[in-house]
Chain A
Amino acid sequence: MLSAAETDALTLSLSIAARSVLFNLPFAIAVAWLLTRTRFAGRTVFDAFVHLPLVLPPVVVGYLLLVLFGIRGPIGGWLYGHFGIQLAFTSTGAALATAVMSFPLVVRSIRISLEALDGGLEDAARTLGAAPLDRFVSITLPLITPGILAGVVTAFAAGLGEFGAVITFASNIPGETRTLPLALYTALQTPDGDSLAARLALISFSLGLAGLLVAESLSRALRARLGR
């Protein structure tokens, strides 16, 4: 049904989006927590910095990643020298670029949940003997799962379609970093690529729709469990 190139692009998109969410999540939870529950100097600047990928052109993000994580960059050079890890022009690099782009979306979603959380429940847990980390794991985390889930789904869906940052940092290598949107773009650049482009567009469309439906039913199930 699907050609080899189409299957490649599809699985690559799914894998890169999934890995980008895994990269994202621990940091996003930590940052959302810092931004809602703590007061520190430079918090506003930090907040703005976290949201930068939303307003910067994706190509700029890709360029900055290249500067920092390229083989000659300060972080990329260290990673390559010590562990032999190369990020630029690899699928892991594509996942990193995707993660950076969707990071503010995940933070925002988790943050809204944290802000809406009734602090009284955490107080109750305190009086029942729960130490801070215990409290976070046993009360806070389960209660913000709807927000985490929403963030994950949005980030995953947005990650399937990330273009600018990926092509700049990880390039357009078939089977390595050529995801659905990059394949679609390539098809449009080739003569006689119209039908391939249409098929890729249809795949993206179905993927997006399926994702939204799954997200909706998951969040309904969660809400029912929490009684809201």
Chain B
Amino acid sequence: MLAVQLTKRRGDFVLDMEFCAPTPGITALFGRSGCGKSTAIAVLAGLLSPDIGRVHVDDDVLVDTTRRIEVAAHERRVSVVFQDARLFPHLRVRANLEYGQKRVARHLPRPVRFDDVVELLGLATLLERRPHELSGGEKQRVALGRALLAQPRLLLLDEPLASLDAARREEVLPYLERLRDSFAIPMIYVSHQFDEVLRLASRVVLLDAGRTVADGDIATISRHPALRAIVGPDAVGAVVSGVVERVDPSGLVQLRIGDALLAVEFDGAVIGQRIQIQVLARDVIVATELPHALSVRNVVPARIVSIAPDAGRAVLVELDVGRTATLLARITARASEELQLARDMQAWVLIKAVSLRGHVFTAPAR
């Protein structure tokens, strides 16, 4: 268990955050730029002192201002992957990777092995290069490896993909997924891109103007009003997960979510695998009668849970699907009135399979 409670004043800005997260696993720290994410990272890493605070990782106390405990950054074993990689320019990739590893105290276990990291991150051909000879994506991979080899008890990822273009991001993301699945190191992933969070994190802490406004599992947070305020109405969408029940010859994957089945486009699915998807609210159609002769692959019975006004002339309808998942549908207020939608009403949701993209999600071991 990772428990964090911090207060830090910097000029007019006050960071006041509190959250708990299971270990291992990735917890995302999500919020607009300027919400205090980077300050939080600096305090957790020991580069800044909190005014008041407590940070525990499992049984280790890193900070406890009431007991005057503040472990120095270089003794904390909290590694950081910075947005700008920060590789040491005078050292070759190999020496960069070994920098933290060499400084691990003798009596400590070293579960992360050099060869494993090199293989996992595909660094074998880069070892003798100098940082200025690497591409942006390669730099971040080396920075990841360097942080891992320092044998951290907590790994902080401070927007590691933010300085990369879309193609480079897609190149690095799979490595992050592998890293999450290969090592039992708790991680905090700072981002302002919800799709990254969706692919990587199991838990989300929402930060707004320096405060923790919500924290919980990704499905709950995906429907949280505070998230809507941050990502905007077009990016709102419930996150649901399901198990692959069968793969159609055409390649469509049938995902079981409670009593319901959802057709999703996904390459290389394995039966029994858990897949996580985000269903954007604007992609969901609500019907009060069972329609037919439609191209839409997903027509799923649902029960209306709530109807709330949304931005513009829209309403946001919350629907229970398969008795286990909740979807959001963004429709016009006019449509809602004409269909006389109301709480507890039975309806159908229509979702195009092509609008759903799945992500393999490996739940943390515990």
Contacts and interface: CB of A to CB of B under 8 A. Distances in A.
Contacts of B343: none
Contacts of B89: 121, 143, 226-228
B77 interface: yes
Interface in B182-237: none
Interface in B95-141: 99-100, 103-104, 130-133
Interface in A197-228: 225-228
A139 B76 CA distance: 19
B103 A134 contact: yes
Interface string A115-141: 000101101111111111011001100
Contacts of A127: 45-47, 73-74, 76, 78-80, 147, 150
B82 A124 contact: yes
B150 A128 contact: yes
A129 B88 contact: no
B103 A130 contact: yes
B188 to A, nearest CB: 13
A139 B91 CA distance: 9
Contacts of A135: 74
A131 B74 contact: yes
B357 interface: no
A139 B95 CA distance: 12
Interface residues of A, number: 23
A112 B84 CA distance: 23
B330 interface: no
Query: What's the dominant secondary structure at chain A's contact region?
Result: helix
Contact of B132 (A125, A132, A139, A227): A227
A228 B80 CA distance: 25
Interface residues of B, number: 28
B99 A125 contact: yes
Contact of B146 (A120, A128, A131): A128
Interface in B145-161: 146-147, 150
B88 A121 contact: yes
A142 interface: yes
Contacts of A226: 89-90, 132
Contacts of A132: 74
B130 A225 contact: yes
Contacts of B76: 127
B131 to A, nearest CB: 7
Contacts of A130: 74, 99, 103
Contact of A124 (B80, B90, B130, B133): B80
Contacts of A227: 89, 130-133
B165 interface: no
A118 B79 CA distance: 19
A131 B46 CA distance: 13
A168 B88 CA distance: 47
A227 B129 CA distance: 11
A121 B90 CA distance: 11
Given A143-B89, A227-B89, A128 B100 contact: yes
A135 B146 CA distance: 16
B35 to A, nearest CB: 21
A128 B221 CA distance: 33
Contact of B150 (A121, A129, A225): A129
Contacts of B146: 128
A142 B88 CA distance: 10
Contacts of A225: 90, 130
A120 B90 contact: no
Interface string B41-84: 00001110000000000000000000000000111111110101
A128 B90 contact: no
B86 interface: yes
Contacts of A120: 82, 84, 86
Given A124-B80, A129-B77, A143 B90 contact: yes
Given A120-B82, A225-B130, A129 B90 contact: no
B159 to A, nearest CB: 14
Interface of A: 118, 120-121, 123-132, 134-135, 138-139, 142-143, 225-228
27 contacts: A120-B82, A120-B86, A123-B45, A124-B80, A126-B47, A126-B73, A126-B74, A127-B45, A127-B46, A127-B47, A127-B74, A127-B79, A127-B80, A128-B79, A128-B100, A128-B103, A128-B146, A128-B150, A129-B75, A130-B74, A130-B99, A131-B74, A143-B90, A225-B130, A226-B89, A227-B130, A227-B132
The 5 closest A-B pairs by CB, nearest first: A227-B132, A128-B100, A129-B103, A124-B86, A126-B73
